[in-house]
Amino acid sequence: MIEIRDLHKYFGALHVLKGIDLDVQNGEVLSVIGASGSGKSTLLYCINGLEPIQQGSVIVDDTDVHAKGTDINKLRTKLGMVFQQWNSFPHLTALENVALAPKIVKGKSKAEARDIAAKQLIHVGLGEKLDVYPSALSGGQQQRLAIARALAMEPEYMLFDEATSALDPELVGEVLDTMRLLAEEGMTMICVTHEMGFARDVSDRVAFFHQGVMEEIGPPGQIFGDAQSEHTRKFLANVR
């Protein structure tokens, strides 16, 4: 599980996360919502150690992410990350793109890495595209390629940072369907998202961030139907 205690993050004088306390249980799907600039992406980067923190702690399966002795590269193999956009290697096929990290980071043999890559590409619905170059894939297919690439590391957690925000509207659904599939399979997921339908239907809990504070967290029914914070209600009134 992921245990976040009194997490504070500054960029210089800018106080971006102001004492976050949050537990994410294994198998849980958490959606993180909130206005642009509220600290959602920064939270994900602090969880996988891409950003240092100034106070508090992030514990992933008993490992303190920000402790001095922590092997951050090893830890990161547990935490798959999918961004708005991923720049795949244009000169490598879909299969080769996904096989790269298992080979280099996990030391898998070429054949093993290709097997893993094929399995994960089939998993995300790209079984027909193994030998295709990324330029021949649609935006939605490229995002599913990014998901396959993260899954190829056999992570225990998946962090999604607005995985559908850069997509044309008609391509959003296929990526959300893939995320939903992972959720149904029991993957532990933290999804920063503007897709309120997804947050409502797929998440176990929804966290609302406002100016670096986690203002409210609860089951989707509570957040969308009976929000306690006025900021939450205002935000939701504007996105719907």
Q: Which residue in 143, 101, 95, 100 sits closest to 121, CA to CA?
A: 95
Of the pair 11, 89, the CB lying nearest ligand ADP is at 11
List, in sequence order, every residue forming a beta bridge with 80; answer none if it has no partner: 158
Q: How far is the CB of 20 from ligand ADP (least distance, A)?
A: 12
Of the pair 41, 188, the CB lying nearest Mg ion is at 41
Q: From the list Mg ion, ligand ADP, none, pick the one residue 42 interacts with, judged by a Cβ distance below 5 to 8 Å according to partner type.
A: ligand ADP
Contacts of ligand ADP in 30-89 (CB under 6 A): 34, 36-42
Of the pair 72, 104, the CB lying nearest ligand ADP is at 72
Q: How far is the CB of 84 from Mg ion (least distance, A)?
A: 8
Angle between helix 139-151 and 110-123 (nearest 10):
130
Q: Which residue in 67, 48, 54 sits closest to 9, CA to CA?
A: 54
- Does residue 135 touch ligand ADP according to CB under 6 A? no
Q: From the list ligand ADP, Mg ion, none, pick the one residue 142 interacts with, judged by a Cβ distance below 5 to 8 Å according to partner type.
A: none
Q: Which residue in 182, 150, 181, 160 sits closest to 76, CA to CA?
A: 150
At residue 44, φ and ψ (nearest 5 deg) are -60, -40
- Does residue 94 touch ligand ADP according to CB under 6 A? no
Number of residues that bind ligand ADP (CB under 6 A): 11
Residues 6+ apart with CB under 8 A from 211: 18, 37, 38, 39
Q: How far is the CB of 38 from ligand ADP (least distance, A)?
A: 4
Residues 6+ apart with CB under 8 A from 68: none
Of the pair 83, 157, the CB lying nearest Mg ion is at 83
Residues in contact with ligand ADP by the rule CB under 6 A: 11, 14, 16, 34, 36-42
